[in-house]
Structure 1
Amino acid sequence: MPPRQTPARLFAVPPTFLCPSIPRQQLRTILSITKPIPKPSRFNASPHLPVLGTSHTAALARKSRTLPLRTGALAIKKGMTALYDTESAKRTPCTVLQLDRVQVLGIKTRKEHGYWALQVGAGTKEARNVTRPERGHYAKQGVPLKRHVAEFRVKDEAGLIPTGTNLTADLFSVGQYIDAKANSRGMGFAGGMKRHGFHGQPASHGNSLTHRAMGSAGASQGSGSRVLPGKKMAGRMGGEQVTVQSLRVMSVDRELGIVVVAGAVPGPKGCVVKVQDAIKKPWPDAVWPPTEVVEAMREGVEKVPAAA
């Protein structure tokens, strides 16, 4: 097969011995013309990808795909148990969560705050342990004092419910999936092997009393004679927010406020867990609260005298 002949370029640069008197500036111009055209970036350049906007509205539109349609609830982790299915002969480890006087404390709208969300509180607290600004907030909303407060974002205005609505255990139905967020159990100061899974150093060949040590933290002169930020080292382990996704609801008890979910939930017993519909599973069909409950609450608010 004969060698491939490359076509001559229009602005090809001649050899140096044939044109030794070309000024440097002119040579740079010729080189800039003969350079190949850079390829467009492959990121966000496909015709099938949407154009990324930099406005706040565009950011909310992108975020809306991963926001639940309705609010979540605050629950207390009571411990773990197991449910046995006689038909399949399977024993499923479960976590027991209890809702303690969970109530909607406030509403955040897109016009006023920039996004849609609900402020939810749980438990109770003595007035002497609450600051005056907080007491004023509770009094303005017409709700009792709460021990735990959290915020749950929703997709749009349809997910907002009136202030003062009590969130009971039947907010979740058996068979649906939820996401649980809580602070993990604190382990205290831990070494590199326990905290990050390091393998450790050799057990022999001159190694003395450094079998579980971390080892080198980085180069000296080559990396600036310092330890680079983010280096995995020994330190405080645990006490960070952990999210466990797609936990199936196994049982619901409205009277006791108990929700039993399959699997483990982060945190120790007695910790506060944020429970909301799973974003990676189909949304539940149940609408909560029921329409008649919302209408009854609105009628009750309208009947209150203006002076009150």
Structure 2
Amino acid sequence: MAPTATAGSSASALWPAQQQQLQQQSLLVHGAARQRLLGNMTQQQQQQQQWGQRAPHTSYQQQQQWRAYRGAAKRVRHSLPDELSAALAVAKAARPPRAEPPQLAPRELQFSSRRAGAIAIKAGMTQEWDEYGARVPLTVLWIDDCKVMRHKTADADGVTSLVLACGAKKEKQLHPRQMAEFKAAGIPLARKLWECPVSEDAVLPAGTPITAAHFAAGQYLDVTGTTKGKGFAGVMKRWGFKGQGASHGNTKSHRRPGAIGGGRADPGKVWKGKKMPGHMGAETKVVRNVWLYKVDPQRNLLYVRGQVPGPAGGFLFIRDAFRWHWAQRAAAGLPFPTALPVPGGEGAMGGASGVVVAKRDGPDPYERFRSDVGEYAEGADWKTE
């Protein structure tokens, strides 16, 4: 005799025949309830229910039935018209295939060449002293496993560019479609992506690493980043207004902007672009012609002079300066299209340590200061008593 299931036993303890019988009874009950629901609906409500939209019910019982069975109907996605879908399919089929990038090999840098950039992480700021003993404030940029994910061509995509990937990410943090793109490219999951326009002779194959050796000490860079968010700020902090008087009849208007120039009749409005309180920071800014002081290819570190936008740990997009003179760019010794891996690793650039430090352009700043002071002192009429 087959054992019977008690009230506290689970459904898995039943025999297969009893499980099948319960499933059939459940299907019959649900089917009958669904038929009653559809029978009470009008034709328009049934159509809306099939489309997955909420039908207008007046009865509380019908609303409860709708909440119970609305998940059974699958939503029909609205597709494009057949003529437009056919035209898009024809245009996609007629699009030329994406050409494969050339084999990675050293090439000659041309006037129209536009090299690839890199994704870096702002590590912080430090300082060093150059060969003349002058202090140089530096920002340290770390290139964390930056690789080429894929390339785009002008014939197939309308633009010639490279999609770069940097950092690391877990599978649970990515969408399945994003994971499919990384698997198709054959590179590990990345945290940050950036599409970098390049010239046709600077296209790199997928998986090519972009390291610190891609840049040369002494060159100029354009650094793009997101500034620190300051929240809602007044005009004194946001725009550097002087502020109003602290006394002499001024009451509760010490940090206010004052008149905004609207006028009652002429012009009768506040001009667009007027400096007023508002949200400050969290904007994309480009700092141009940043001087690259030092390159450490073994640790993938770049030392640039001055400050760059963003907090420590933020992502930055760096590339060759757009307003850099061609003669200086040709004389900088930039590896084109990128720095090729050297067997052995150590000593790839500038000796055993691999660290390359740029030299200051121009004369000794202290000698120039002495000469300026000397000329001033010689021409001055000093009083001697």
Name the TM-score class by shorter chain: 0.5 to 0.7
1:137 to 2:185 alignment: no
C-alpha distance in 1, partners of 2:316/2:186?
25
Where does residue 235 of structure 1 map in the other structure?
278
CA distance in 2, matches of 1:182, 1:68: 24
| Residues 104, 290 of structure 1: alpha-carbon distance in 2 compared, 3 angstrom cutoff | closer
Partner of 2:115: 70
Gap runs ≥5 in structure 2: 1-110, 342-385
Which residue pairs with 1:285 in the alignment? Answer: 333
State how 1:82-121 maps to structure 2 within 5 Å.
Answer: 82-85=127-130, 87-121=131-165
Instruction: Please give the TM-score of this superposition, normalised by the length of structure 2.
Output: 0.55
- 1:39 alignment counterpart: none
**Inter-partner Cα distance in structure 2 for 1:115 and 1:103:** 20
Which structure shows the bigger proportion of residues in strand conformation? 1
**Letter aligned with residue 118 of structure 2:** A
* Structure richer in helix, relative to its length: 2
Corresponding residue number in structure 2 for 1:270: 313
2:84 corresponds to which residue? Answer: none
TM-score by length of 1: 0.68
| 1:1-308 paired onto structure 2 within 5 Å | 69-85=114-130, 87-154=131-198, 156-222=199-265, 226-281=269-324, 282-283=328-329, 284-289=332-337
Deviations 1:218-275 (A, max 9, x none): 4254257554443321111111111111122222122211111111111111011111
Please say if residues 68 and 279 of structure 1, whose CA atoms lie closer than 8 Å, have aligned partners that are also in contact.
no
Shift of 1:153: 1.2
Whichever residue aligns with residue 112 of structure 1, its letter is A
Q: Distance in 2 between matches of 1:223 and 1:149?
A: 50
Larger radius of gyration between Structure 1 and Structure 2: 2
- Matching residue's letter, 1:286: L
Counting matched residue pairs gives 226
Query: Aligned partners of 1:98 and 1:75: how far apart in 2?
Result: 5
Offset at 1:68? 6.5
Task: Give the direction of change, closer, same or farther, for the CA distance of 1:109–1:146 in structure 2 (3 Å limit).
Answer: same
Once the two structures are TM-superposed, the CA of residue 188 in structure 1 deviates from its matched residue by 1.7
d(CA) in 2 for partners of 1:232, 1:290: 44
Kept in 1: contact 2:146–2:210 (CA 8 A)? yes
> Is the 8 Å Cα contact of residues 243 and 256 (structure 2) preserved in structure 1?
yes
Distance in 2 of aligned mates of 1:68 and 1:206: 64
Three-state SS of the structure 2 residue aligned to 1:193 is helix
Higher RCO structure (Cα 8 Å, ≥6 apart): 1
Alignment partner of 2:164: what SS? strand
Greater mean deviation of Cα atoms: 221-230 or 274-283? 221-230
What is the CA–CA distance in structure 2 between the aligned matches of 1:142 and 1:237, rounded to whole Å? 41
